[in-house]
Amino acid sequence: MAKGYWVSVYRTISDPEKLAAYDNLARPAVQAGGGRVLSRGVRVVAHDAGIAERTILIEFDSFDQAVAARESDAYQEALIALSDSVERDFRIIEGLD
């Protein structure tokens, strides 16, 4: 079964305090959903139209598990805390077997 991944690239962060509140809620929600953070807030070299802001990569055992974690009540609560404090590109992608 192919793994699932959350890929999140932040274009702008307008309210670091809301982002911190989101992080405090999102971290346990992701863990409860079976997610493992592979990369978070480390160096990025952007090419072409890429963005070198904060980038997060989270791995799940399956694509369906990644989707379910995003839809969970706990993660939805984290999104409410995040509200309009960031502009980001968030994707759930399926890995290769």
Q: For residue 51, what pLDDT is reported?
A: 83
Domains of the chain and CATH, by start:
4-94 (3.30.70.100)
Averaged pLDDT in 10-residue chunks for the chain of 97 residues: 95 95 97 96 86 91 98 97 95 94
| Token pair in block for residue 64 | 């369906």
pLDDT number for residue 1: 86
Instruction: With CA atoms as reference, report the closest residue to 14 among 90, 79, 82, 77.
Output: 82
Cα-Cα-Cα-Cα torsion 73, 17, 11, 34, nearest 10 degrees, comes to: -30
Exposure letters 45-78 (e unless 16+ CB within 10 A, then b): eeeeeeeebbbbebbbeebebbbebbeeeebeeb
pLDDT in the model for residue 43: 87
What pLDDT, on a 0 to 100 scale, did the predictor assign at position 28? 97
Dist. CA 32–CA 27, nearest whole Å: 9
Task: Give the other-Cβ count within 10 Å of 24's Cβ.
Answer: 11
> Are residues 67 and 92 in contact, defined by beta-carbon separation less than 8 angstroms?
yes
